[in-house]
Structure 1
């Protein structure tokens, strides 16, 4: 039979008349239910009185009845427990245990049996920890990284925060990589690999900084608007829709102007490429036509001039030929005219003369 109790002064047990009474009746007080035989024996006698008096603090009360025969009978009719509350002690349980006890106090003296709460010391746990100490029985020392070396006597928390380079409620944690300063509240993102002195932020590598920062021993000056890269020597793309670009990579954060794409807006978008292809085709055709016209025009001019020269030569030739033809015609006309005149003269004069002679001869 196990009963969970915190503090016991008197125990009343009432058994039935049929309960086996011969042998030892034992009561154990223990803190575990499995190892009760190693607990404190509160009572062990061959008789079994109705009322048992003792003082004890425990979790489990175990009763072991006498067993001498194969069969024994146990019948518990009533169990009564009288004890002080956990926070009181004394014959009448009218005295309060010290407020800084860890657990109940002694039922008679009031001393803290399980020690004091953190921040207190002494038999009655009424002595506060001295400055710079804390914890159970004030055995812990406040962290030397506390800003004013004062801490909470109970948990060691530093009242005013930590010195540069430290963090945590008790200031015992060093700043993680990339952080420094008061309570590790500042960041050394500009340092190579983000490694810097946790106290003052001085970069471990002082000859260079991450892209986006001006070279310096702290690497804490970012690039001016419009510049990016190592030591801020590169210019952001002028095709970014919004400025500035990403100081580290040069990426256009707000997008690109119409028709362009890519992280720095230097690539023509697919839609624009189609439009550009059509436009370039039209421009190409126009330029091609223009160049073709420019090539054909001189040839045409040359041909026209050639043709004019040919016509001019043919005109001269034709005029010369015509002149010759006219001279010949004129000569022919003259000849024909002379011939005709001669013929006329010859014909008429001869015939008439002959006729006249003839006629005169006949008449004679």
Structure 2
């Protein structure tokens, strides 16, 4: 069939990217059936192969010809997990804590050495998050406010926002 060679016993030996008992099948993706090259995927070829591709992490689609969000070399901007593989979607389905956005490429508000939200709140992270902070409130944690949880909430004071202002009556 032009996709391989036969030996003296009439057994076919398929060329790379070809499959089937007569080597007539071509693997998914490009014309030469290479699953978008060795860096993107590998074809299950040969006489007993089925022509499907196993994609390298960061690539997706039947022929491994699509890149995950971010880039194939840096899926999900290096801060999450991509739905890769032949049946994948290329979407980031999980971001590392403290990162958000469809490509997990945005750090949460107030990210720094103390953690997200300056260590005084919880970030709405993940692929569907918006990176905003929900500030902590309590006797042991302090009562924080502000977009990055850097201010004491109204009625609280001190380095850790644990002091509570007393209400003055008649003033």
Q: Give the TM-score, by structure 2 length.
A: 0.39
Considering fraction of residues, name the structure with more helix. Answer: 1
Higher Rg:
1
Q: Give the TM-score, by structure 1 length.
A: 0.22
Considering fraction of residues, name the structure with more strand. Answer: 2
